Structures are given as structure tokens and as C-alpha cells.
A and B are shown apart, each in its own frame.
Chain A
């Protein structure tokens, strides 16, 4: 299988208030083209930080990362146009309407106007937001915001999708929509990397699951094999097997 993301010995350290935090500690892995790749791990494990490096927002402290063959440090301007990002923290302009938020994204990714409008109409309908298209997103429910976030990351038709906790805090219906979107986009050939705290979500969606803990990647395999190798019946047990029962800081 052809790797689309290659991470080699990635280290990311932060210096904050005189303290040094190693958020990602010597992590290496590949993501294959066309797969759904899940990342699980306790709070503070380093999932979002890994995402930030992969999406060129943060520079690696050490190691090398290639996305679609481009180096994240030197060729970030080649990577940005072909990736779509749903950040962990919601990021919509509350005083712009749903449509305007999507248009802004389309414009910033330089999507031709006609194609952009077609895609916007199509996606708004797909996630059931067409009736709210001209409302300010400031008044949206959490589920509506998240549906909008997800489609605003595909307006430029990216090859690779990064979703950081796309279903946290959502009701089962909205989560269902998100899952359907994941499968749909993956069916169109897009590679999807996402993080989650819902084990059954990782189990259902992922071709492969990576378990992160304390900045390390402690396991990476397909869900069935992970369960087999640890003698677990579900992913929840796998998670506890690798990361222990203690609460992390």
C-alpha cells in the first residue's frame, strides 16, 4: 500500500511558562492512501499536536514529516491546498452566515466561484443545513456548527482530511451524519485521519487505529488485530490495556 503521510521520529516540544513539555515524543508511522486512520488516546496524549504538525500549523522540533510527498517544513504551501481540516476547537465566524463562512473558505482556497457555489449548495443540502444557509452561525446549535465545520473543510475538494474529534459533544443523530460523511468522503478516494474518544466510532470506521499515550504511539494496527493481540472483546479494553486505568493530567 502506498503511504500518503510519512512520519519519522517526530518530536514536538513546547516551552510554556518556563516548563518544557514534550507533547509528541519520537513518533513514527505511515498513513496509507485511501484509508481511514483513527487516533485514540487519553487527554493530553499528543493527538492534536501531531495533527498540527501534519497540517503544517506547527513546525516539528525534531524528525521529518512528509504529506503527499511534500516536506511539512519546506513545502507547506504545497500541502495546504490539498488537505482539509476540522479543528478540535470550533472555528466559524459567528457574525457570518453559514453560506458566507463556506464562501470565505472557498475563496481562501481559491476555488472558482461557479464550482464553489455548486459545491456549497450540494453540501449544505447533504448535511441538512440548506434552510439555515443564510443564518448567522453564532446562533447555531453545536451539531449544526459541527456539520458546517465538516463541510467547510471539503469545499476545496482536498485529498486528505484531518478531523480532530469531529463527534465530541454531539447527539447520536449528528454523530451518525458525521460517520456517513466519513464513509462517503472515503468512498470518493479521500484519505481520512481523525481522532476520537468514542471507541466504538474508531472500531466501526477505521481501517487502522493508532493508540497514543504520553506523546508516544503505543500501538498501531487494524481494530480486529488489536483486539486479538490483547485478548480484548472491544476497543475500550484495548485502550485500557495500552494506556492503563489511571487518569492523566
Chain B
């Protein structure tokens, strides 16, 4: 059995997988659309922009600078549609603790406190610090408010923003998209690999395949080639959709993103193979799949930052490979960092791929 025949065999198998996939219309559509829907749904529904968020401005200053600041905040219009981003209420002489209690009560998403000497300081161009309180239970809105205030105050003068409970200065979508891509690739590679094998077990075609001269290695290689093409294709579609639909900008290297996704897909394929060896049919595979991918989806910080979850949850997240894939994707795609910044993630993901793949090949016996 030469390498050339093994490769030819695996390409025959990869081609067969694509042909069958192209006929599973009911699978094909969600496979492509699901992540896009997820981004649009979460992106618009939960974040990305903020519409008429109630904020309170405690203005203890009477000068011109503060009133122009206040006006600018009130009239700011979100880039997605016509409604103003904030609905502003004004007051003065309110203590910080009283303001906090109003946020606790859910009356405001944010409170900006302008001190009495604001206009004077702006005029003298002196350094100063404003306090911005936000409802950090609503990570999306508070992050948008913080982000917006930062930009606005940077224009007004040398003003530092003191944000108790700081979460970050990202827009939610920027945060969401790399995570959704990693999640999509993970769920996709595990589920399509595993269910295809489980289905072939059910149909008897797997055993039939293993009776041919084709080696077990070629069968696995063929399925892997197919998955790599499929998952990378989905990631590209997702990034393009995010770019055209939501104005998402990719800051980092495509090559590096591909590298992360290739390694992670290998891990996912290995995992799918391992899981498929534990079941005899599709139905049981999907039950098992639920058990494995659902927690990963909610624990690993696709939808919220790990810094905002309780310790125990964070420790679980650190045990899941998806966490490192998400971290690597964010580091590359948003922060625009290079190989050094993601080397630890890559090492962990490679280990994951090696372990699951070795186990998968081992378990995927002739007797499968």
C-alpha cells in the first residue's frame, strides 16, 4: 500500500462525502446558515448597537463645555438605524451611591457623573477623571456605553474615564464573531464527522468500505480532508457575511486564522470519530453530541467574557479546548496579534488534535 494509493483512495472518499453532503439539503442549509443566523441574531438582538438605552447624566457643572457634552450624548445616533443610541435623563446633586442604587433598580444602563469643575478644567486643558457607572450585568450595553463615552471624551480634552466594573472596550459583535467561528467549526466538525460515521454504521456502508482494499487510514484521511475543506469554507463564509452584513473588520492574519482552524478542525474530527465509536446509530450519536457540545457552548465564553463568570465556571472552561480556540481567534482577529500571542493556545489545540486523533484512529478498528 503506497502513499499514492492511500491518497487517491482518501480523495475518492472525500469526494463521495461531498456528493452525499450536496444531497442532504436539509443539512446543507443549516450548516451554512446557522452560524450566520446566530451572528445576526445575537449581534443585533444582544449587542452590536444600543438603542435608546436609558442613561442618567448627573451634571454638577454649569459651564459651556459640559452642556455641549451633554447635548452630544443625547443626540448621538447609532450607525445601524435612525433611532438615538441613548435616551438621556439629566439631574444634578446626586451622590454616587444613590446613582448606583438606580442602576441596581434597572432604571438606567449607565450614569455619567460630571464634576462641578468640568468646564473650567476643559478650558484650562487640565487632566481630570470622570466617573461612569454602568450596568455590568448587561455586558453588551455597558460595553457599548463605555466605548462610546471613551471616544467622546477623548475629543473633549485630556479626560480619563473611571469605570468601576470595567468590562472592556469592544463592541459586542467584535467580541462575538471570532467566538462564533470557533464554535461553528467545533460543533460542525464533531457533529458532521460523528453523525456521518454513525449513519454509515447504520447503513452497513462503513463495514462494506472496510472490506475493500482501502486502508482504514485512507478512510479516516478522506473524511478529514472533507472536513477541513468544509469547515474552512464555512469559516470563510461566516467572516465574509460578518463583513458585508455587519461591518466586521478582520484585523489579523488570514493565514494564522486558517492555521488555528485547521488544527482545531483536526481535533474536532478526532473527537467526532472517538464519539462515533461509542455508538451504534445516528440517534445515540446525537444524544452524546448534545452532552459534549452544549456545555462547551455556554461555558467557554462564546457569548460573554470569561472574566465575567464565576470561578468554578472559568475552571471548567479552562479544561475545554474550545476556550483556547476562541481565545486564539479573538487574539488574532480583533487584537491583530501574531503567532507569539497565540502560541500557548496553539500548543494546547495541537495536543487536543493529537490526542483525539490518535484515540480515534485506534478505536476506529476494522471491527467498526
**A positions within 8 Å CB-CB of B:** 55-59, 77, 80-81, 85, 87, 89-96, 100, 104-105, 107-110, 136
> Once the chains bind, are B213 and A81 in contact (CB under 8 Å)?
yes
How far, in angstroms, from A52 to B363 measured CA to CA in the complex?
Answer: 19
> Once the chains bind, are A80 and B367 in contact (CB under 8 Å)?
no
> Once the chains bind, are A93 and B211 in contact (CB under 8 Å)?
no
For A89, the chain B residues whose CB sits under 8 A away are 204, 207
Residue of B nearest to A14 (CB): B367
How far, in angstroms, from A94 to B204 measured CA to CA in the complex?
Answer: 11
How far, in angstroms, from A95 to B12 measured CA to CA in the complex?
Answer: 16
Grouping DSSP codes into helix (H, G, I), strand (E, B) and loop, the A interface class, with mixed when no group exceeds half, is loop
**B positions within 8 Å CB-CB of A:** 1, 5, 9, 12, 16, 19-20, 23-24, 203-205, 207-215, 366-367
Shortest beta-carbon distance from B38 to chain A in Å: 27
How far, in angstroms, from A78 to B137 measured CA to CA in the complex?
Answer: 67
Q: Indicate the member of B1, B5, B16 with the most A CB atoms within 10 Å.
A: B16
Shortest beta-carbon distance from A73 to chain B in Å: 11
> Once the chains bind, are B203 and A104 in contact (CB under 8 Å)?
no
Shortest beta-carbon distance from A24 to chain B in Å: 15
> Once the chains bind, are B203 and A107 in contact (CB under 8 Å)?
no
> Once the chains bind, are B5 and A57 in contact (CB under 8 Å)?
no
For A87, the chain B residues whose CB sits under 8 A away are 204, 207-208, 211
> Once the chains bind, are A95 and B20 in contact (CB under 8 Å)?
yes
For A100, the chain B residues whose CB sits under 8 A away are 19
Shortest beta-carbon distance from B160 to chain A in Å: 62
How far, in angstroms, from A39 to B123 measured CA to CA in the complex?
Answer: 102
How far, in angstroms, from A105 to B205 measured CA to CA in the complex?
Answer: 11
Known contacts A57-B366, A96-B20: does B203 contact A91 (CB below 8 Å)? yes
> Once the chains bind, are B19 and A96 in contact (CB under 8 Å)?
yes
Known contacts A57-B207, A58-B366: does B20 contact A93 (CB below 8 Å)? yes
> Once the chains bind, are A58 and B214 in contact (CB under 8 Å)?
no
> Once the chains bind, are A105 and B213 in contact (CB under 8 Å)?
no
> Once the chains bind, are A80 and B213 in contact (CB under 8 Å)?
yes
For A96, the chain B residues whose CB sits under 8 A away are 16, 19-20
Beyond the given A77-B1, A77-B215, A100-B19, please list 12 additional residue pairs across the A-B interface where CB-CB is below 8 A.
A55-B211, A57-B211, A57-B367, A80-B212, A87-B208, A89-B207, A91-B207, A93-B20, A96-B19, A104-B16, A108-B212, A108-B213
Task: Pick the contact of A108: B204, B209, B366 (CB < 8 A).
Answer: B209
Shortest beta-carbon distance from B363 to chain A in Å: 16
Known contacts A77-B213, A95-B23: does B367 contact A58 (CB below 8 Å)? yes
> Once the chains bind, are B1 and A107 in contact (CB under 8 Å)?
no
How far, in angstroms, from A57 to B1 measured CA to CA in the complex?
Answer: 17
Known contacts A77-B1, A87-B204, A89-B207: does B19 contact A109 (CB below 8 Å)? no
Residue of A nearest to B200 (CB): A93
> Once the chains bind, are B24 and A95 in contact (CB under 8 Å)?
yes
Known contacts A80-B212, A96-B20, A100-B19: does B9 contact A108 (CB below 8 Å)? yes
Sorted nearest first, the 3 A-B pairs with minimum C-beta distance are A91-B204, A91-B208, A89-B204
> Once the chains bind, are A80 and B211 in contact (CB under 8 Å)?
yes
How far, in angstroms, from A19 to B205 measured CA to CA in the complex?
Answer: 28
How far, in angstroms, from A85 to B1 measured CA to CA in the complex?
Answer: 21
Q: List 15 A–B pairs whose Cβ atoms lie within 8 Å, in order of A's numbering.
A: A56-B211, A59-B366, A77-B1, A80-B213, A87-B204, A87-B207, A91-B205, A91-B208, A93-B203, A95-B19, A96-B20, A104-B16, A108-B212, A109-B213, A136-B23
How far, in angstroms, from A105 to B20 measured CA to CA in the complex?
Answer: 15
Task: Pick the contact of A92: B9, B23, B205, B213 (CB < 8 A).
Answer: B205
Shortest beta-carbon distance from A54 to chain B in Å: 11
For A108, the chain B residues whose CB sits under 8 A away are 9, 12, 209, 212-214
How far, in angstroms, from A77 to B205 measured CA to CA in the complex?
Answer: 19
How far, in angstroms, from A201 to B251 measured CA to CA in the complex?
Answer: 72
Residue of B nearest to A136 (CB): B23
For B210, the chain A residues whose CB sits under 8 A away are 57
Task: Pick the contact of A90: B19, B204, B213, B215 (CB < 8 A).
Answer: B204
For B204, the chain A residues whose CB sits under 8 A away are 87, 89-91
Residue of B nearest to A83 (CB): B211
Shortest beta-carbon distance from B187 to chain A in Å: 22
How far, in angstroms, from A108 to B214 measured CA to CA in the complex?
Answer: 6
Shortest beta-carbon distance from A6 to chain B in Å: 20
Known contacts A58-B367, A77-B213: does B203 contact A94 (CB below 8 Å)? yes
Residue of B nearest to A80 (CB): B213
> Once the chains bind, are A92 and B203 in contact (CB under 8 Å)?
yes
How far, in angstroms, from A162 to B123 measured CA to CA in the complex?
Answer: 95
Shortest beta-carbon distance from A34 to chain B in Å: 23
For A77, the chain B residues whose CB sits under 8 A away are 1, 213, 215
Residue of B nearest to A59 (CB): B366
Shortest beta-carbon distance from B4 to chain A in Å: 11
For A93, the chain B residues whose CB sits under 8 A away are 16, 20, 203, 205
Shortest beta-carbon distance from B198 to chain A in Å: 14
